[in-house]
Chains A and B, each alone.
Chain A
């Protein structure tokens, strides 16, 4: 199943009454949405509020979502409209340099530097996460690092990775899983584990 089909399956579960499935979509798209909104609104607290509001609006509207577009495209449009309405209510305008009035918005996945205006705590967390992933990647055995890089960075299919690495698809699947587990083990202490941060 493709990424879009997985999202659609989650949407259909939510439409069938499974609220918790929505948490999986929030977890998956929270950072992309945050980066998008951070191009419109400078205050990190406002960005987080708008991100929350966007997800709540999306949940309320999910009953009418029919999958004509990808879920994230639909979500981003809600996010942009939420931010624009918020700025209009404040008497502020979207800056022309945000590029969000064009189709660029749908592919605005980041790459641009996060705003320096972020809180010190959030900046620290950002740095810690990036550093942890970099170190975990560097510590991986070469064949695991190559497999996860070909998958996550290059976006190759298991079949193509198997061909590139000269090994069976089952081996590729296992190597990528082991790489993910090694990195995730280093990340877990940084992820919310307090009772009020579990969902």
Chain B
């Protein structure tokens, strides 16, 4: 037991062994005396003459009897792995997600073949299938030339009208309106 205590002083004991040693020290006054002696001789060998402190620990512990017991909630995040996750991996993950999000927006905006949503009004005779709505949304894939022409038109329109209250976002906002023919 004392040899393990000596090894613990030198950082050569794992967590489980040191926990076991502290449990034992709590019950064993002789082992506490060994702890005292090892502390003292280490101080003397390292730093030379030491102040005589005989009985000091007993006096402090006697005063502690009048003190309420310290109770603090046990931390669940003091292990290295969760700390590593929180401080290193999460920022990296957030950066990757940010790049993916921006990349997704860019890819979506540059995709010429994507379906375009247009709003049309139902014709009186063709409304049978959707006759409960006054208008509905359908997908259509306009020809490439139409898409390019619309983009050019919108770019020219934005250049003429200037930026709105949110200039950076305005260029991505497109509005299309159509009037149903009577």
Contacts and interface: CB of A to CB of B under 8 A. Distances in A.
A30 B56 contact: yes
A20 interface: yes
B44 A177 contact: no
Interface of B: 2-3, 6-8, 10-15, 18-19, 22, 25-26, 29, 32-61, 63-64, 67, 69-72, 74-75, 78
Contacts of B15: 1, 5, 9
A197 interface: yes
A157 B57 CA distance: 29
Given A148-B45, A197-B55, A187 B40 contact: yes
Interface in A177-192: 177, 180-181, 183-184, 187-188, 190-192
Interface of A: 1-3, 5-6, 9-10, 12-24, 26-28, 30-32, 34-35, 38, 48, 51-52, 55-56, 59-60, 62-64, 66-67, 109-111, 113-114, 118, 121-122, 124-130, 133, 137, 148-149, 151-153, 157-158, 173-174, 176-177, 180-181, 183-184, 187-188, 190-192, 194, 196-199
Contact of A110 (B8, B19, B38, B48): B48
B70 A114 contact: no
A122 B70 contact: no
A35 B52 CA distance: 11
B58 A126 contact: no
A173 B2 CA distance: 11
A114 B38 contact: no
Given A30-B57, A125-B54, A137 B37 contact: no
A177 B72 contact: no
A116 B108 CA distance: 82
